Amino acid sequence: MIHLRSLLTCIAVLAIAMPTTAMAGTLTLSIVPVSQNVVRGGSGYVVDFTLTTTDSVGLSGFNISLKTDPLAGVSFTGGDASVTNYVFAGNSIGLLFNTPDGANTADINDSPDNPPVTIVGPGIYGLGEIFFSIAGNAPLGIINVTLDSSTSFTDRNGSPITFVPDTNTTIGTVTVVPEPSSLVMGAIGIATGLVSLAKRQRSYDKT
């Protein structure tokens, strides 16, 4: 018969010897438009990216690939890491931006420098931002974007981390900038209306 104390000792030794695997929480990648209303010929518009975690995760890097319809008139012009609570703040190789497939596609990616992994606890972290401009002949309406299949997060071993992409894919609605002549005519119309209203009010007062 095995002594109870010996059995417990064996169980404890086995528990220490067995490798432990941490359960990864949910990672959600969100696309956050900073400027919803954009105009033809406008520039300097921004879209941010955030990562939401529900558990501690070891990140060794990320790559976000964003694209739009080539006919949408969108040109991605740059990117940086000047966002709140940047995931690799103080330990970053440096955010890289490029347009691999033309003006309507953009990538940003980064990884920690030393140590080559950053542990992030539950919370919301910034992943950088991308700037874009709108062509002068861009079609009016909503601008939607999609994530390319190369979008990814990697763990401390360099293996892919499963993540949930946010369903928010609208980064702006293209509108037309009123022509100066239209603005003048509008102002004249308003002034005329105010004069007419004043005349009616005076007529009413006399009666």
Q: How do residues 130-159 score in pLDDT, each as one tens digit?
A: 999 999 999 999 999 999 999 999 999 999
Q: Is 68 left (phi over 0), alpha (psi -120 to 50) or beta?
A: beta
Domains of the chain listed by start with CATH number: 25-176 (2.60.40.680)
Residues 6+ apart with CB under 8 A from 135: 40, 41, 73, 74, 75
Residue 200: its pLDDT value, please?
A: 57
Which single residue is written with the structure tokens 């974007």?
145
Please name the residues in contact with 80: beta carbons below 8 A apart, sequence gap of 6 or more: 95, 97, 128, 129
Select the more confidently predicted residue: 105 or 8.
Answer: 105
What pLDDT does residue 180 have? Answer: 53
Summarize pLDDT for 38-81 with one digit per residue, the tens: 999 999 999 999 999 999 999 999 999 999 999 999 999 999 99
pTM score above 0.95: no
Dist. CA 44–CA 14, nearest whole Å: 59
Mean pLDDT of 71-95: 95
In sequence order, the 6+-apart residues with CB closer than 8 A to the CB of 101 are 67
